[in-house]
A and B are shown apart, each in its own frame.
Chain A
Amino acid sequence: MAGTIDPDAGISAAGEPITEAEALQRLRQSEDQSQQYYAAWWLGRHRSRHPEALPLLLAALGQRRPRDPGAGVEENAIARNAARALGKLGDAGAIPELLAALDDDDDGLREAAARSLGELQAPEAVAVLLRRLASGPAGAGATRSDSPRLQEPCEAMLEALGAIGIAEPGVITLIEPFTAHGRPLIRSAACRALLQLSGEARWADPLVQLLDHPQLQVRRAALMDLGAVGWRPALEPICQTLAENSLKLIALRGLVEQGAHHDATIEVGAVLGAMDSLL
């Protein structure tokens, strides 16, 4: 999650307000790719329910070709935005093509597809995610020779396994070694997934500790991860960590909405009170 968080992104990236019909039209045309790029984002952002949104986004997802840095907005950039938007539409009809995108050569597209399959809580994705991560921290989690990125978008894939929620022993066993990965963001994602899948408090402790990490980016990720799980015992550490109130509020919203099953000793009212003081 970290690195992509901008609480005001929805507004600053939006430019001129457009209508749903305009967004669909911009995605339908193919002359201006920057318009397609924006339209794909728009439809996801507004969780469009228009019947044409799904087929148009699937077509945009299918518009892939090898990266061509000289071509301005690359077609894969549109495909990635389409993949992200498909997760937000909440329509299971997107699952087969997102699954195929998990095996694309473009790791940015694999990342977007993994996140969206997690949002859609698609059980069909578990087998592919396990296969892509099977080589563990030393394989899938190794740094690439040509970039600082990892062989696989581990953070997104681990988070997707947690969101999908299939707590089989094979899934747990595969995720556990990633809690010792060299990068704190990967450890955070692995702990988040294990906490979601098992509900065991031992996976929350490392996340709470990451709220004290010297890097803001890591603290932000831990905030988002604790919020996604809804781990109410982290209420006080979340309030105390040094980060923007916007992110703390998102995390606390997670504690309210996702947290009822974890710890009944911290009431919703206490979380709401903490949110009030962060506004």
Chain B
Amino acid sequence: MDPIGERIQAVRQAASAQTMLDATRALAASDHGDGVNGEAIACLVEVLGFNNPGAAVAAVDGLIRLGPMAVEPILESLDPSNYGARAWAVRALAGIGDVRGLEVLEEALGSDIGQSVRRAAARGLGQLRLDALGDSRRQAVQGRCLQALVAACADGEWVVRYAVAVGLEGIGLADVNSDHLRPASRLALLGLSQADAEAVPVVRLRAALALRRLDGQPGG
């Protein structure tokens, strides 16, 4: 059996949380050479649903390394009844930054019941990789991301609003040419940075940091 096949088998046969973690780390770090093993992607996606946080972190890292080719298997695996797995899947989609994940991320941020899912989605919407798209398509996608993030400034969970600040920073920084989106990002961040609108100090600090970075200030 080839090394990757052995590593897949090690994950599937893991009898303890620790061996699962070690096996997943090994599989996630595999060098796929010329061709990626579809079974390896499927196996990493399975690990997201095993309620083993350490192994899930390793699997997400591995899926992000695999990049766009992992997107379809992740999208097909989404299970509305398993919040843990869904959170890790959204996190993987967020890290990969493929535009095919846009609708999942939008929907997750707007209406998922799990705050861990919403926060991963907010981060992801700020870091989609859109360089390959044409200008008009890219601006349309960025506009949708911005709209979803602005709406989520009113989320009831501080950690989601924190992630929204990170996402708005990403959108603002990516908007290098048109300057269409930066003013709206700044306005939303301004709200998150002020004590009369935002009660949680760490959210205000993160929003203020994002504003400094958008303004290109030192220390940002």
- Are B157 and A256 neighbours in the complex by a CB distance under 8 Å? no
Q: How many residues of B contact A (CB 8 A)?
A: 26
CB-CB under 8 A for A256 and B166, given A245-B116, A246-B115: no
Chain A residues touching B, majority SS: helix
A 238-279 to B, binary, CB cutoff 8 A, 1 in contact else 0: 000011111001100100110000000000110010011001
- Are B116 and A268 neighbours in the complex by a CB distance under 8 Å? no
Can you list 16 A-B pairs with a CB-CB distance of less than 8 A?
A: A7-B115, A8-B115, A8-B116, A10-B115, A10-B157, A242-B53, A245-B57, A246-B115, A249-B159, A253-B159, A256-B202, A256-B205, A268-B205, A272-B209, A279-B123, A279-B163
- Are A279 and B206 neighbours in the complex by a CB distance under 8 Å? no
User: Which listed residue (B54, B83, B201) contacts A242, Cβ 8 A?
Assistant: B54
Q: What residues on A are CB-neighbors of B53 within 8 Å?
A: 216, 242-245
- Are A272 and B157 neighbours in the complex by a CB distance under 8 Å? no
* Shortest beta-carbon distance from A267 to chain B in Å: 10
Which residues in A have some Cβ–Cβ distance to B below 8 Å? 7-8, 10-12, 216, 242-246, 249-250, 253, 256-257, 268-269, 272, 275-276, 279
Q: What residues on A are CB-neighbors of B114 within 8 Å?
A: 8, 11
B105 in the interface, Cβ–Cβ < 8 Å? Answer: no
User: Which listed residue (A12, A246, A253) contacts B202, Cβ 8 A?
Assistant: A253
- Are B209 and A246 neighbours in the complex by a CB distance under 8 Å? no
CB-CB under 8 A for A256 and B115, given A272-B209, A275-B162, A279-B123: no
Q: How distant is the Cα of A269 from the Cα of B163 in the complex, in angstroms?
A: 15
Q: How distant is the Cα of A242 from the Cα of B17 in the complex, in angstroms?
A: 11
B120 in the interface, Cβ–Cβ < 8 Å? Answer: yes
